[in-house]
Amino acid sequence: MARDVSDTTPIGARSELVAWIAEGEKPRETWRLGTEHEKVPFYKSDASPVPYDGGKGIRALLEGLQDRTGWAPIMEDDHPIGLFDEKGGGAISLEPGGQFELSGAPLKTLHETAQETAQHIADAKAVGEKLGIEFLTLGMSPLWTRAQTPVMPKKRYGIMTNYMPKVGTLGLDMMYRTSTVQVNMDYASEADMVRKLRVSLALQPIATAIFANSPFTDGKPNGFLSMRSNIWLDTDRDRTGMMAFAFEDGFGYERYVDWALDVPMYFVKRGETYHDVAGASFRDLLAGKLAQLPGERAVRSDWANHVSTLFPEVRLKRYLEMRGADVGNIEHITALSAFWTGLLYDDAALDGAWELVKSWSAEQREQLRADVPKLALKATIAGRPVQDVASDALALAREGLKRRAYRDAAGDDETKHLAYAEEIVASGRTQADRLLELYHGAWAGSVMPAFKERVF
C-alpha cells in the first residue's frame, strides 16, 4: 500500500473529486508502467516469521536498506515504516504482517522494470543476509497461523484490523498473510480509461489463473490454487469485486466517484493522527457532517487516502491498478507487467482483447471470478477453457509488445518477458499445481522445503 498523503487543500464539491481522477490523464508518449510486489520475510535458520523490533527485525532490515540505497525513511511516530527515493524513484513499504513491498518507479519499458526488481531483490537479499532473513516467492504465507504472524506498527492497519471482522471472515488473512504483484497503467482520456478498465476487469481472473501461486495455508494444502484470490471474495464486499457497473452505458469518472463515495471510510488523517471513522460516509465528511469529527471538512488528501482503501480487482486512482495476481519470482513479477503492458498499451491488442471479452455477461464474469481461485486454468468462461482464453490473451499481448519495439542492450524486444507466462499456459500447469506436485511427491507432505526452494 502506498504512503498516506497529506494535502490540506479543501474540497468543496463532488466535481472536484471527479477532476482529481481526470488529472491522471497523460498523452501516450508519457505513459509509464509501475510494478509493485510484496514478499514474506522469514528467518533462514528456522523458517520463523520476522517481527518488527529486535536487532534482526523488520526495522533493522529497513535501516540497513536505508544505508545501502540512500533512500529517505518514512516515519510514523519514531518508527521507520518505509523508505522512498527522493529522486522520484520507487518506495518500500510494509504490509500489515511484515510483507515487504517495493512500489516501483514509473518506467518506460519492461526491461527497466526487470532491472529495477532485480536491483531491489539484490539489495534486500544483501541486507537480509546479515540479519539471517530471506524472502518467499509465494502468494500466501504457507506455514504460520494468523496468530503467529507479526503485526507492523502502522496506525491505519490497527483501524483496518478492528474493522475487517465486521465485514467479512477473511479480511485479516488478506492483510497479514497474502502477497501480490500488480502493475499500474496510464490512460489518455476518460474514454481510454473506460476501455482499459473494462478489458482489464474482464481479464483479471485470467491473470489470476496464469499467476496462481498460493496453494498452502497453515502448513498444508488449502484446496485452492490461488488462496490469495479466494480470500478477497470474503474480505469486504463493499469495496472489492468485479465492478459490474463499469460495463453499464454511461460509465466514466463520475460513476466511479459515486461508487467510491458510498464505500465506507476507514480513517481521516489530520497531521500525524489517524482518526478511526470506520464505517462512516465520505459524503458526510464532504458536507462537514461527519459525526466522529464535528465541523471537519474534506481535503484533497482525504480523498486520495480513501480511494487507496478501495480494493476492486482493478482500481482507478489517477492510473489503473491491475490487482489480480499472486506474487512469484522476478520472472513472474515482470511477466505480469508484460501481460498487461502488451494488452493495454497497444491499440490493436486492446481492440483484440475487447473482442475476446465483450460478449461475456456480468453473471459469467462473476462466475469466472468465483471459479478461478480453485480451478485456475481449468475453469471455463462462456463455454471456453480459461487456458484457451489465456493463450489468446497472451498472443495479443505478445503482438502488442512486438509493436512497441523497445529493445534492450542485447537487442531483444519486450516479448521475452512473456515467456514465463506462455510456458505456464502452454503446459496448463500453474506454479500452484507444481507446488502441490512437490508437496505430494518430493516434499513428502511438508511445506518446509518451500523455505529453501521458493525464495528470492
pTM, to two decimals: 0.97
Q: Which three cell numbers stand for residue 350?
A: 486492446
Angle, helices 110-131 vs 330-344, to 10°: value is 160
In the numeric block, the cell 523488520 is attached to: 58
**Nearest 5°: phi and psi at 300?**
-55, -40
**Residue 36 vs residues 101, 102, 232, 260, 294: alpha-carbon distances, Å:** 7, 6, 18, 23, 37
How far is it, in rounded angstroms, from Cα 438 to Cα 445?
8
pLDDT 10s digits, 7-49: 889 998 999 999 999 999 999 999 999 999 999 999 999 999 9
pLDDT at 4 over 90: no
pLDDT 10s digits, 262-286: 999 999 999 989 999 999 999 999 9
DSSP string, 108-171: S-HHHHHHHHHHHHHHHHHHHHHHTEEEB-SSB-SS--TTTS-----HHHHHHHHHHHHH-SSH
pLDDT of residue 7: 84
**Residue of 283 and 88 predicted with greater confidence:** 283
How far is it, in rounded angstroms, from Cα 111 to Cα 88?
19
From 303, 323, 322, 317, select the one nearest 5 (Cα to Cα). Answer: 303
In the numeric block, the cell 504490509 is attached to: 95
Q: What is the mean pLDDT of residues 225-229?
A: 98
Q: Reduce the DSSP state of residue 411 to 3 states and report it.
A: coil
**Which residue type is seen at 192?**
D
Contacts of 371 (CB under 8 A, 6+ apart): 205, 379, 380
Q: What is the mean pLDDT of residues 318-346?
A: 98
pLDDT of residue 3: 54
pLDDT at 1 over 50: no
Asked if residue 368 lies in contact with residue 421, where contact means CB atoms within 8 angstroms, the answer is: no
Half-sphere exposure of 441 (CA within 13 A, CB side): 7
**Nearest 5°: phi and psi at 244?**
-55, -30
Tell me 272's DSSP state.
T
How far is it, in rounded angstroms, from Cα 24 to Cα 118?
28
Within 10 A of 130 (CB to CB), how many other CB atoms are there?
A: 11
pLDDT at 435 over 80: yes
Q: What is the mean pLDDT of residues 412-438?
A: 98
All structural domains of the chain with their residue ranges = 14-453
pLDDT at 2 over 90: no
Specify the fold of 14-453. Creatine Kinase; Chain A, domain 2 (3.30.590)
Q: What is the mean pLDDT of residues 286-297?
A: 94
How far is it, in rounded angstroms, from Cα 305 to Cα 303?
5
In the numeric block, the cell 475453469 is attached to: 379
pLDDT 10s digits, 129-156: 999 999 999 999 999 999 999 999 999 9
pLDDT of residue 88: 87
pLDDT at 166 over 80: yes
Q: Reduce the DSSP state of residue 10 to 3 states and report it.
A: strand
**Residue 381 vs residues 197, 360, 362, 395: alpha-carbon distances, Å:** 19, 8, 11, 18
Q: Which three cell numbers stand for residue 203?
A: 481479464
From 238, 218, 212, 207, select the one nearest 177 (Cα to Cα). Answer: 218
Q: Is 185 exposed, middle or buried (0-12, 13-18, 19+ CB in 10 A)?
A: buried
Q: Residue 5 — pLDDT band, cuts 50, 70, 90? A: low
**Residue 419 vs residues 334, 335, 397: alpha-carbon distances, Å:** 10, 8, 11
